Structure 1
Amino acid sequence: MPMLIEPAELAARLDAERSGDGSTRTVVLDVRWTLAQPDGSEEYREGHIPGAVYVDLDTELADHDVEGEGRHPLPSEAAFTRAMRRWGLRDGDTVVVADGGGSYASARAWWLLEHAGWADVRILDGALPAWCAAGLPVEQGDVVPEPGDATARFGSLPVVDLDGAASLGLEPADVLLDARAGARYRGEVEPIDPRAGHIPGAVSAPTTDNVGPDGRFLPAAALRERFAALGVDGARTVGSYCGSGVTAAHQIVALRLAGFDGVLYPGSFSQWSNRFELPVATGAEPGGERADAAAHG
């Protein structure tokens, strides 16, 4: 099943369905979210793909009532089922996820839907900017669909917990990719988590390098070359983490496009850095300079 969809193809599908010629039903989800602006509902209302339903990443793609699991813990099956039904999803639907640019937030929705066992979920390549650049229409206001009957059944994609992430970073037979910006990996800046640096053994692999200047994913061959240079060879287990598990899903998408499998660490550095008994490393190298709990009091 394709992972990406082009704006023109999505527009053609939606037009065919509106005219009654479509063989399947396509539901578009708008995941407008950034770390600086978590609530994207106003931007959504100002202009979105016609028929797109707004998805609140903080409340529907995460469960903030869970403690100790990082800033964006995964929702429960029951909570995600409620969200999917609010979005109007029915078994057999094709789901297309889009965001305001770069596909960083929509990748989280893609990952959760795949994890929930959804058969056909795709990312709009280039996101809303590509849709608009193609001269395609947008509409304003809210879309409130009829409730759906979808049910989440988690388990289709692998995850790793804190202990597993530690093992991936230390085992030479495995690879742990840090999806954050290089400055955060090196420990030069840390805008939100309590300690700066990275999980010892992790390799810096910013997700911004997965896309081109137009916000579209790089071609599969280019992604494969990128990950091969980071030690990914198809035989080693590859884990992905970021600050809170959102953009780490973008890395999983890019790995899949390149022909590799990846394992998500949902707790990511926001969980790791809050466990002060665990070491962090700083600098450009995976091992870096290690600092442990004693160094932080």
Structure 2
Amino acid sequence: MTSRDQNLVSTEWLEDHLDAPDVIILDASWYLPTEERDAQAEYRQEHIPGAVFFDIDAHSDRSSDLPHMLPNTVAFSSAMRKLGVGDGQKIVIYDGAGLFSAARVWWTFKTMGASDVVVLDGGLPKWKAEGRALDSGTEKKMERHFTARLDHGRVRDLGEMKRNVETTREQVIDARPAARFKGEAAEPRPNTRSGHMPGSINIPFNLLLDDQRCFKSNADIKAVFDGAGVDLSRPITASCGSGVTAAVLALGLELIGIDSYGLYDGSWSEWGQDNLDTPVVTG
């Protein structure tokens, strides 16, 4: 099985496995506040049959002022048990944008030690475009035992990122749009500076996706990283605005067989804060 098969499934595959007892489907839709969309209400209106709703903000570190930071393992295990996610299941994640927030939840589960977690390529838009079945309302699953073990190697914090600016041991790839990366466009969060970390490389996450919001071929994904000047033989850390689209880059790396990477959980919502002395570059 290839790295792509281990992390991505097609709509055809999922339709064939809707009733499989060892498969749990999660609707992980989340939208930027500026989009004014209610992900949970949209889930109740229509979702893939059997899917339960995974709330990115509810299943996060509620003590942090930063958006949807990783929770601790005890809280996450408890929440997943109540959701019906258990050890030994294949966890299939999708979102309503096609391929956006599902990658963040994929990374969360991988970081929490889940061994079999995949993203639905093209998500709900592709599923609907193909005329596949939909349900409404909410789904309730039986509680199952879920064991979370944090993989520290997949996460970077502020201290590590500050040190990396000095050492440049890891390449930092930033998934935000080019205008925000360059400091030409304002950040959507208040009290946040514009620009990027010194030495970081801009790879807007949508460059890895095709017009249907599916991942491009492995060759094309590799060409995007190569074209941006990323050395795939060296360690990499992904960042973005709040740790969501950075996970699209992380998933793209996994698809092409690169597993030596981390994700900066606080991302620009932390680094770019007005009250921090973190260096910011524009242009």
TM (norm. structure 1) is 0.87
Q: Is the 8 A contact 2:57 2:67 kept in 1?
A: no
- Give per-residue Cα distances to partners, 1:71-106, cap 9 Å, x unaligned: 222111111112211221222111100000232211
Contact 2:81 2:144 in 1 (8 A): yes
- Counterpart code for 2:242: S
Aligned partners of 2:25 and 2:112: how far apart in 1? 17
- Tell me if 1:180 matches 2:176: yes
Say whether the 8 Å CA contact 1:102–1:216 is kept in structure 2.
yes
Q: Distance in 2 between matches of 1:11 and 1:156?
A: 34
> In the alignment, is the contact (CA less than 8 A) between 1:168 and 1:239 conserved in 2?
no
The CA deviation at 1:235 is: 2.3
Q: Which residue identity lines up with residue 147 of structure 2 in the other structure?
A: T
Structure label with greater radius of gyration: 1
Within the candidate set 184, 208, 211, 2:209 is matched to: 211
Deviation of the 1:265 alpha carbon: 0.5
What value does the CA root-mean-square deviation take over the aligned residues? 1.7
Match of 2:241 in 1: 243
Match of 1:50?
49
C-alpha change, 1:197 and 1:156, in structure 2 (3 Å) is: closer
Gapped regions of structure 1 (runs ≥ 5): 18-23, 284-297
Of residues 21, 24, 27 in structure 2, which corresponds to 1:27?
Answer: 24
Stretch deviating more after TM superposition (83-92 or 135-144): 83-92
CA–CA distance in 2 between the matches of 1:156 and 1:276? 24
1:276 — aligned with what?
Answer: 276
Question: What is the letter of the counterpart of residue 55 of structure 2?
Answer: D
Rounded to whole Å, the distance in 2 between the matches of 1:180 and 1:102 is 17
The SS at the match of 1:90 is: coil
Partner of 1:290: none
- Seen in structure 2, the aligned counterparts of structure 1 residues 38 and 239 have a Cα distance that, compared at 3 Å, is farther
Separation (CA, whole Å) in 1 of partners of 2:75 and 2:197: 30
Name the structure, 1 or 2, with higher relative contact order (CA <8 Å, separation 6+). Answer: 2
Which amino acid is the alignment partner of residue 28 of structure 1? I
| CA apart distance, 1:264 | 0.5
- After TM superposition, the score normalised by the length of structure 2 is 0.91
- Which residue number corresponds to residue 64 of structure 1? 62
1:79-118 to 2 correspondence within 5 Å? 79-118=75-114
Do 2:61 and 2:69's aligned partners in 1 also have CA atoms closer than 8 Å? Answer: yes
How far 1:54 moved relative to its partner?
0.5
- 3-state SS of 2:92 partner: strand
> How many residues are aligned here?
273
What residue in structure 2 maps to residue 230 of structure 1? 228
Q: Secondary structure at the match of 2:18?
A: helix
Q: CA deviation at 1:171?
A: 4.2
Q: Which runs of 4+ in 1 moved over 4 A?
A: 169-173
| d(CA) in 2 for partners of 1:219, 1:157 | 27
> Which residue identity is paired with 1:203?
I
Q: Does 1:11 align with 2:15?
A: yes
Contact 1:169 1:175 in 2 (8 A): no
Name the CA distance, whole Å, in 2 between partners of 1:251 and 1:38. Answer: 24
What residue ranges of structure 2 are gaps of 5+ in the alignment? Answer: none
Partner of 1:20: none
Could you say what secondary structure the match of 2:136 adopts?
coil
Structure 2 equivalent of residue 256 of structure 1: 254
Structure 1 CA distance, aligned partners of 2:231 and 2:41? 43
Query: 1:198 pairs with 196, 199, 205, which one?
Result: 196
